């Protein structure tokens, strides 16, 4: 359809909508005006009958008081005043639009008024000399005149009240409908204008701007640009011609660039891999080797950032992270790495299937850079004892299948060389004898948990425990028996704490347990459970020899007892030695006050 024809249709639609809106608005306003005028007339009629009724009632009351209170002079004046008010109210009927029955009622009241007025005047003149005959005459006239007139007024008053109520409700509904219509009309007209603007923008303004922009880009050398128009008018034909021209140019250039890029990529990959192998063979420290590996991998892919995860596959569905290094956050800790493994990379780790994403991600930890695209390659050592995950982030233009193949080949060869050169997991995190976390990892974990506690205003407690008389035990039974004790105590610690807690061999026969979100009173409960569990455990030393050992424990809590991780260790260690000093096999907490008496089950060795 031609552009001029489109504009004719849009103009007709807009004009038709405006005419319909005008006609509906005029009819609505006319209806509201008529109902409002009728309501005004009925209201005046209702008010008049109310006033007439009240003046007649006032006249009746003042007359009754006059007759009952010995014809008081004050009440006689009130009678004449109320009579004048009632008469004036009757004569005001000409100013109000009454219906025929109401006019007849007022006319009859006016005709009978002289008779009623004459009797009242006679009663006033007979002040102090009113006889029973006067009163009887008044009572009769009261029945014939006042009560009948009031009955007629009440009847028409009620009818007018119903009319006022009914008309008020109709007026309210009409106004409500009119307001609703006006709101809908305003919204509809606004929407129509917006739609008209959008249609014109999409049909003419935007396509012209896009054609101009893409044409300039192609002329400047960006031949990947395309115009995406599906209209069947002049603009659609023009965009198709431009796209055909650009596609022909791009096809020729891509073939030439592809051949050059493949050759360059192969040379770069082999050069970088040779350099990395030299570092591995030189015996450089593991962290240095991994950081060089990450930097070279990032350079190879021409990306912004890179990271490597080293895991121990104890549980195939949930491997345990042991080492994490990246180039996008200098001080990123293990907790951050675990968070990513349980989020966006969980399926990559479980299925060992590469992941390639070329759209922005929002499910990574907030302290990381914005991820526009990424590629993740799972790796495994030859003996399947170590898993790795290499992640490359933010490459201009996104990642291709060719990038995935290149990264896999490079990372696989480098990872095998690294895992064969060093025992990564044992070196990185664990104590060789007990299998617990080592001192270095404990320090990192405590720092992480302290910062988390500080950020979310939560308590964190630290337990320190030491095996009582361990040197004497070693001297008596030998170092092999001592190793048995260390392994047994380590197992008992692991069995008596939560999965969220963190245990470590602090050094020698001393152990540490980090208790996240745990107050001092809760830490004491955990410490007592550990103490009694270890004291009650029977060690089999072989050859029929059985022994028991005890431990002394101390604990402190952040933030009430310390404000840094170093201070927390110091306070907990002081409490440990306080337990030693006061008899061993006991728990002492910082801030306990007086120390408790020695435990009843203390074992002396």
Active site residues: 509
List Cβ neighbours of 513 (8 Å cut-off, separation of 6 or more): 462, 463, 465, 493, 497, 501, 502, 503, 504, 526, 530
Q: From the CB of residue 590, how many other CB atoms can be counted at a distance below 10 Å?
A: 22
How many whole angstroms from its chain centre is CA 320?
31
d(CA 435, CA 419): 20
How many Å apart are CA 168 and CA 160, to the nearest integer?
12
In this structure, what is the dihedral angle of CA atoms 289, 290, 292, 298, given to the nearest 10 degrees? 160
Q: At CB < 8 A and 24+ separation, what contacts does 152-159 make?
A: 152/105, 153/49, 153/52, 153/53, 153/56, 153/105, 154/53, 156/49, 156/99, 156/101, 156/102, 156/105, 157/46, 157/49, 157/50, 157/53
Are the CB atoms for 214 and 224 separated by under 8 Å?
Answer: no
Cis bond leading into 559, ω under 30°? yes
Residue 445 near residue 320, CB atoms below 8 Å: no
d(CA 429, CA 382): 21
Question: Exposed/middle/buried for 350, CB within 10 Å: 0-12, 13-18, 19+?
Answer: middle
> CA 492 to CA 510: how far, in whole Å?
14
Beta-carbon contacts of residue 242 (< 8 Å; ≥ 6 apart): 211, 214, 215, 218, 227
Beta strands in 431-497 (DSSP E): 460-467
CA–CA separation, 51 and 46 (whole Å): 9
Pairing of strands 387-395, 374-380: antiparallel
- The torsion region of residue 176 among left (phi > 0), alpha (psi -120 to 50) and beta comes to alpha
C-alpha dihedral, 141 to 145 to 147 to 148, nearest 10°: 140
Residue 371 · residue 365 · CB < 8 Å: no
């Amino acid at each position: 359809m031609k552009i001029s024809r489109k504009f004719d249709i849009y103009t007709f639609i807009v004009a038709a909508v405006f005419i319909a809106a005008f006609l509906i608005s005029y009819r609505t306003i006319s209806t509201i005006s008529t109902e409002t005028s009728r309501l005004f007339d009925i209201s005046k009629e209702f008010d008049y009958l109310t006033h007439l009724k009240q003046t007649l009632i006032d006249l009746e009351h003042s007359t009754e008081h006059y007759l009952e209170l010995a014809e008081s002079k004050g009440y006689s004046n009130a009678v004449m005043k109320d009579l004048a008010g009632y008469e004036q109210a009757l004569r005001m009927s000409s100013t109000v639009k009454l219906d025929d029955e109401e006019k007849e009622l007022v006319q009859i009241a006016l005709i009978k008024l002289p008779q009623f007025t004459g009797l009242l005047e006679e009663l006033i003149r007979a002040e102090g000399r009113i006889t029973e005959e006067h009163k009887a005459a008044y009572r009769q006239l009261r029945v014939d005149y006042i009560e009948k007139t009031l009955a007629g007024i009440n009847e028409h008053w009620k009818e007018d009240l119903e009319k006022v109520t009914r008309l008020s409700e109709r007026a309210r509904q009409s106004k409500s409908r009119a307001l609703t219509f006006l709101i809908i009309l305003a919204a509809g007209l606004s929407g129509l204008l917006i739609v008209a603007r959008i249609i014109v923008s999409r049909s003419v303004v935007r396509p012209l701007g896009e054609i101009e922009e893409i044409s300039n880009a192609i002329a400047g050398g960006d031949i990947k640009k395309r115009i995406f128009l599906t209209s069947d008018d002049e603009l659609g034909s023009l965009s198709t011609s431009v796209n055909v021209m650009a596609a022909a140019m791009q096809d020729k250039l891509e073939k030439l660039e592809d051949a050059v890029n493949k050759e360059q990529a192969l040379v770069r990959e082999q050069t970088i891999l040779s350099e990395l192998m030299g570092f591995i063979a030189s015996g450089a420290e593991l962290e240095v080797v991994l950081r060089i590996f990450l930097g070279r991998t990032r350079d190879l892919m021409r990306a912004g950032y890179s990271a490597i995860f080293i895991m121990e596959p104890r549980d195939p569905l949930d491997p345990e992270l042991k080492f994490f290094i990246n180039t996008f956050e200098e001080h990123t800790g293990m907790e951050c790495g675990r968070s990513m493994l349980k989020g966006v990379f969980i399926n990559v780790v479980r299925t060992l299937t590469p992941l390639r994403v070329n759209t922005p991600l929002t499910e990574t930890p907030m302290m990381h850079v914005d991820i526009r695209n990424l590629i993740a390659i799972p790796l495994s050592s030859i003996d399947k004892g170590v898993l790795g995950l290499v992640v490359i982030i933010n490459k201009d233009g996104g990642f291709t299948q060719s990038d995935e193949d290149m990264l896999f080949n490079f990372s696989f060869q480098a990872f095998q060389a690294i895992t064969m050169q060093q025992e990564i997991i044992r070196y990185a995190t664990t104590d060789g004898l007990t299998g617990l976390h080592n001192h270095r990892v404990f320090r990192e974990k405590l720092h992480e948990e302290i910062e988390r506690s500080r950020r979310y205003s939560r308590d964190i407690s630290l337990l320190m425990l030491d095996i009582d008389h361990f040197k004497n035990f070693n001297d008596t039974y030998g170092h092999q028996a001592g190793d048995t004790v260390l392994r047994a105590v380590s197992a008992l610690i692991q069995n008596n704490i939560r999965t969220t807690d963190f245990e470590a061999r602090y050094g020698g026969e001393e152990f540490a347990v980090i208790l996240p979100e745990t107050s001092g009173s809760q830490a004491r409960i955990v410490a007592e459970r550990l103490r009694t569990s270890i004291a009650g455990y029977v060690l089999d030393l072989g050859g029929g020899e059985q022994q028991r050992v005890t431990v002394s424990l101390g604990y402190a809590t952040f933030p009430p007892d310390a404000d840094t991780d170093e201070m927390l260790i110091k306070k907990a260690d002081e409490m440990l030695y306080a337990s030693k000093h006061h008899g061993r096999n006991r728990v002492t907490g910082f801030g306990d006050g007086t120390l408790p008496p020695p435990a009843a089950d203390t074992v002396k060795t």
